């Protein structure tokens, strides 16, 4: 089932409003030059949503190219080990390119073609969104330029190689902290001078209206499938649903189809890093304040002067100082509970899942697994917790081994 062909949204799902607001959050804080491109994107998206041809093409790609629906898997040995509730994994790690990001990039590549544009730009931190964008561009014959901080290029070189093999140009960003947020700034700057021919494929539910809504809708295939699979495999909806939150796209896609079912508790897990001090974590919903970052009003990590703080997480995909505005809205309304999981707990959960189930999870996803394991241990065996396994861990294996060695040599 595709989210946009699903029934009309309920009251609790009926955000954003026409100006892109989720309550007070969201909106559009951009220079005049981008207003036209954002309006054009919104018009193209509204037309596409109501066009059965667009939906059929996207559904076909999701089935035959991505490999959807992704399985809902009962992790029996992990559940037994935790000694409480049943843990179910939504296997986004089994998608083509190894994570949920392809759900969004294919949708936006289709929109690019619909707008008659031939060039795509994207930002990437860990490189996962860069690879998913380069993949979609290769599939549709679109020119692709990916902005990436020079520090991230060094840390994530296998993904850089993949992007180049897929025909993308990777442009190093050497300003600021040389990481994801600087790459977004450069991509925005490119877009201001190239909007006629170029679409900017944003990688999460962040940025100015209408990006948070579009990315959420494309990712909602995760939650829609999960609802149906739960009814079929458990005979009912789950008691709790857990997902990790970086920019917030896998979580938004997982949660959105459940927000109108109050008995299903929703839990977002941010990167708690090394501790609660600024610079030691990437948890804006837990420790930050509302502010403007990358064209949108949402929780953000900023210092007393309103400057965006540096952030830290062991997983590059969660290492972002902001979060999508819909999450800020869900926090404010109390619909979703947000918590954190630190570096070490994520590493431990990575091991537990590998050894009990034979699955290497992405370090990002391992944050959600860690919280799910703690939660399950406190719940009775008849309860069911579904966790979004947002991606696979092959990309992280070498880094985890390196961290182990450096810890071992210190002790
Ligand atoms: C990019 C990434 C994330 C974080 O991004 P969200 O937009 O918060 O989903 C999480 N897991 C994996 C595997 C990723 O690649």
How far, in Å, is the centroid of ligand 1 from the Cα of 390? 6
Looking from the CA of residue 362, the nearest atom of ligand 1 is 13
Catalytic residues: 101, 123, 390
Residues with CB under 6 A from ligand 1: 99, 101, 128, 204, 244-251, 317-318, 362, 364-365, 390-391
Backbone angles phi, psi at 389, to 5 degrees: -90, 85
How far, in Å, is the centroid of ligand 1 from the Cα of 367? 11
How far, in Å, is the centroid of ligand 1 from the Cα of 212? 14
Packed helices 128-140 and 101-114: angle between N→C axes, nearest 10 degrees:
40
How far, in Å, is the centroid of ligand 1 from the Cα of 213? 17
Tell me which residue has its CA closest to atom 15 in ligand 1: 128
Q: What is the pLDDT along the chain (411 residues), one digit of tens a residue?
A: 444 445 678 888 899 999 999 999 999 999 999 999 999 999 999 999 999 999 999 999 999 999 999 999 999 999 999 999 999 999 999 999 999 999 999 999 999 999 999 999 999 998 999 999 999 999 999 999 999 999 889 878 899 999 999 999 999 999 988 889 899 999 999 999 999 999 999 999 999 999 999 999 999 999 999 999 999 999 999 999 999 999 999 999 999 999 999 999 999 999 999 999 999 999 999 999 999 999 999 999 998 888 999 999 999 889 899 999 999 999 999 999 999 999 999 999 999 999 999 999 999 999 999 999 999 999 999 999 999 999 999 989 988 988 888 877 776
Tell me which residue has its CA closest to atom 2 in ligand 1: 317
How far, in Å, is the centroid of ligand 1 from the Cα of 90? 14
Tell me which residue has its CA closest to atom 7 in ligand 1: 249
Q: Which two tokens stand for residue 301?
A: 């990590």
Residues in the chain: 411
Tell me which residue has its CA closest to atom 3 in ligand 1: 317
Domains of the chain, start order: 21-62+101-215 (3.40.50.1100), 68-98+220-410 (3.40.50.1100)
Contact criterion met (CB below 8 Å) for 296 and 365: no
CA angle 44, 49, 52 (to 5 degrees): 115
> Probe ligand 1: pick from 123, 132, 249, 350, max atoms within 8 Å of CB?
249
Cβ atoms within 10 A of the Cβ of 285, count? 22
Among 364, 375, 377, 404, which Cα is nearest to 98's?
Answer: 364
Tell me which residue has its CA closest to atom 14 in ligand 1: 317
CA distance linking residue 359 with residue 191, whole number of Å: 39
């Amino acid at each position: 089932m595709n989210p946009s062909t699903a029934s009309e949204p309920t009251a609790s799902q009926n955000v954003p409003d026409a100006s892109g607001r989720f309550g007070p959050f969201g909106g559009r804080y951009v220079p005049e030059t981008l207003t036209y491109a954002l309006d054009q994107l919104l018009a193209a998206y509204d037309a596409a949503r109501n066009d059965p041809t667009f939906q059929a093409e996207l559904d076909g790609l999701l089935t035959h190219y991505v490999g959807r629906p992704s399985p809902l898997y009962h992790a029996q040995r992990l559940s037994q080990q935790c000694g409480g509730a049943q843990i179910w994994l939504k296997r986004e790690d089994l998608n083509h390119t190894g994570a949920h990001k392809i759900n969004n990039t294919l949708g936006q590549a289709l929109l690019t073609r619909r707008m008659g544009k031939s060039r795509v730009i994207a930002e990437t931190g860990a490189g996962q969104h860069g690879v998913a964008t380069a993949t979609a561009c290769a599939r549709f014959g679109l020119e692709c330029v990916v902005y990436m901080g020079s520090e991230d290029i060094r840390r994530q070189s296998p993904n850089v190689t993949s992007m180049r093999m897929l025909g993308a140009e990777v442009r190093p960003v050497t300003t600021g902290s040389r990481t994801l947020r600087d790459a977004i700034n450069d991509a925005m700057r490119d877009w201001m001078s190239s909007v006629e021919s170029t679409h900017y494929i944003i990688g999460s539910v962040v940025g100015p209206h209408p990006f948070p809504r579009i990315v959420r809708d494309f990712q909602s295939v995760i939650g829609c499938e999960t609802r149906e699979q739960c009814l079929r495999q458990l005979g009912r909806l789950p008691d709790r649903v857990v997902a990790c939150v970086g920019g917030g796209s896998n979580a938004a896609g997982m949660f959105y189809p459940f927000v109108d079912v109050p008995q299903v508790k929703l839990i977002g897990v941010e990167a708690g890093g090394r501790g609660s001090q600024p610079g030691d974590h990437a948890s804006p919903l837990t420790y930050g304040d509302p502010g403007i970052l990358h064209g949108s009003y949402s929780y953000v990590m900023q210092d007393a002067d309103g400057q965006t703080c540096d952030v830290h997480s062991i997983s590059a995909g969660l290492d972002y100082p902001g979060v999508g505005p819909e999450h800020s809205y869900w926090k404010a309304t109390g619909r979703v509970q947000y918590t954190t999981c630190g570096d070490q707990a994520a590493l431990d959960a990575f091991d537990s899942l590998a050894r009990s189930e034979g699955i290497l999870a992405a370090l990002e996803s391992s944050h959600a697994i860690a919280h799910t394991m703690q939660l399950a241990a406190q719940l009775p065996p008849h309860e069911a917790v579904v966790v979004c396994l947002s991606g696979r861990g092959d990309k992280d294996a070498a880094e985890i081994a390196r961290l182990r060695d450096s810890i071992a040599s210190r002790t």
